[in-house]
Amino acid sequence: MTDKKIVLDTLGTIQKYFGKVLVDEVLEIYIERLAKLDEKDFKAASVRIMDGFSPTSTNPFPLIKDFLEAVGLDGRSRAVNIVSVVRQKLEEVGQYQSVDFGDSALHSVIQRYGGWVEMVLNNTDQWWSLHERNFISAYESALKSGFGGPKRLKGLHEIDNSQAGFTPDILEAKGIKPRICGFDDEVKRISE
């Protein structure tokens, strides 16, 4: 997360640099969206924007998507890298433990493909060669639409315990928690 004051100051510099002043309502949208980025990534993206963005009459100021592209978190970059992250986590975590990627769009796509357990069982080169393109497209669509899935993806332990009447709160009290997969850190590491 980036402090909103840093985002505001940096956007002020970029506005001066490109000679375009954003109205307060639009500036607030930029601040809200860009403050979610890691501070180091936001600063690097801002430098890339100032070095590489070419204003036009229809687009005189960089859009939020330009910042995300400069960080490598636009929908396409993220979607292409996601397959590597998901495959790695399918191998590492397995079918028994529940997982949380912290990305509801990804959770919705995995649910469409049968859920976490089904994905673990299908994690073969042959399966991915048939489904990778559609998986990436589904993820891009989920990102664009804002369509989200469950907060976590259930593994066999949680599925079996849920069928026995144990709620997620009870399971967590018993020490059965989803594995947090640190999705954004993995995508950054893989894309570097």
Contact criterion met (CB below 8 Å) for 30 and 38: no
Q: How far apart are CA 61 and CA 81, in angstroms?
A: 28
**Neighbour count for residue 82 (Cβ, 10 Å):** 24
| 165: confidence class by pLDDT, cuts 50, 70, 90 | confident
Question: pLDDT at position 9, please?
Answer: 93
Tell me how far apart the alpha carbons of residues 181 and 80 are, in angstroms, rounded to a whole number.
18
Q: Which residue has the tokens 């993995």?
A: 186
- Pairwise CA distance, residues 110 & 134, whole Å: 12
* The pLDDT of residue 186 is above 70: no
Q: How many helices (H) and strands (E) does the chain have?
A: 11, 2
pLDDT at residue 173 in the model: 72
The whole-number average pLDDT for the span 133-139 is 91
Q: What is the dihedral of CA 73, 76, 82, 83, to 10 degrees?
A: -160
CA dist list (Å): 97 to 17, 74, 108: 50, 30, 18
Q: Which residue has the higher pLDDT, 168 or 30?
A: 30
Residues 76/54, Cβ–Cβ less than 8 Å: no
- Bridge-based pairing of strands 99-100 and 179-180 is parallel
> What is the predicted pLDDT for the residue at 13?
93
189 pLDDT more than 70: no
Q: Return the higher-pLDDT residue of 26 and 68.
A: 26
Separation CA 136–CA 142 (nearest Å): 10
- Angle between helix 24-34 and 4-18 (nearest 10): 130
Q: What is the mean pLDDT of residues 140-144?
A: 81
Digit-coded pLDDT (tens) for 65-94: 888 778 765 556 667 778 888 998 999 999
Phi, psi of 61, deg, nearest 5: -135, 145
Residues 93/123, Cβ–Cβ less than 8 Å: no
Q: Does 177 have pLDDT greater than 80?
A: no
* Residue from 47, 46, 161 nearest 96 by CA: 161
Containing 22, the helix (H) or strand (E) segment is none
Q: pLDDT-derived band of residue 153, with 50, 70 and 90 as boundaries? A: very high
Find out whether 59 and 29 touch, Cβ atoms under 8 Å.
no
Most confident of 3-17, 75-89, 158-172: 3-17
